């Protein structure tokens, strides 16, 4: 365990693979302790290719293959779950942003329509002809007729 704690932050855990194999094969630790140490290494160690590291560890210490593969599969599953969760969060955020944008556009459009209606009402109060109001506001004749009542 001291070896692992000493070297866990090195740039590449591959550099001390042989020492790790020697300690694993020496039988100084219980199966549970080896499992914890290997899990710790796989979660916290740094290496450019974790899969290659696991396969080399299995090649040099075949009696630990089942344990290593189980740990690797669990980590892969956690990675998949985390990736799905991140994708879901990103999708929700994107949907929220699109919803806000759509809401703003809809609000602007409603505001424009409201402005046209207010302009038409004002023009009607001043006795402006319906043709000029239709041309000025872009509202339909039916809509302007409805505003008169």
Q: List, for residues 83-103, the tens digit of each pLDDT value.
A: 888 888 999 999 999 999 999
Is the separation of the CB atoms in 21 and 57 below 8 Å? Answer: yes
Q: 39, exposed or middle or buried, with CB in 10 Å at 0-12, 13-18, 19+? A: middle
Give the pLDDT confidence score for residue 7 in this predicted structure: 64
Q: For residue 96, is it within any domain?
A: no
Domain of 47 in residue numbering reads as 1-60
Asked, for residue 115, whether it belongs to a domain, the answer is no
pLDDT at 38: 81
pLDDT in the model for residue 1: 62
Whether 49 is in a domain gets the answer yes
Within the chain, which residues score under 50 in pLDDT?
A: none
Chain-centroid distance of CA 54 in Å reads 27
* CA 39/CA 35 separation, integer angstroms: 6
Collect all residues with Cβ–Cβ distance below 8 Å to 65 and sequence separation of at least 6: 58
Amino acid 67: pLDDT = 80
Looking at residue 30, its pLDDT comes to 83
Q: Is 126 helix (H, G, I), strand (E, B) or coil?
A: coil
d(CA 101, CA 107): 10
- Give me the number of domains the chain comprises: 1
């Amino acid at each position: 365990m001291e070896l692992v704690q000493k070297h866990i932050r090195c740039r590449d855990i591959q550099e001390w693979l042989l020492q790790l194999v020697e300690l694993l094969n020496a039988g100084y630790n219980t199966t549970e302790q080896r499992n914890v140490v290997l899990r710790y290494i796989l979660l916290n160690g740094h290496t450019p290719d974790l899969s290659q590291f696991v396969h080399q560890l299995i090649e040099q210490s075949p009696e630990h293959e089942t344990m290593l593969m189980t740990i690797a599969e669990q980590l892969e599953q956690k990675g998949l779950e985390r990736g799905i969760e991140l994708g879901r969060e990103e999708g929700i955020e994107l949907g929220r942003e699109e919803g806000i944008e759509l809401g703003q556009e809809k609000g602007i459009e409603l505001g424009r329509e409201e402005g046209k209606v207010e302009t038409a009402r004002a023009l009607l109060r001043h006795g402006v002809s319906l043709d000029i109001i239709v041309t000025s506001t872009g509202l339909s004749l039916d809509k302007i007729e409805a505003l008169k009542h």
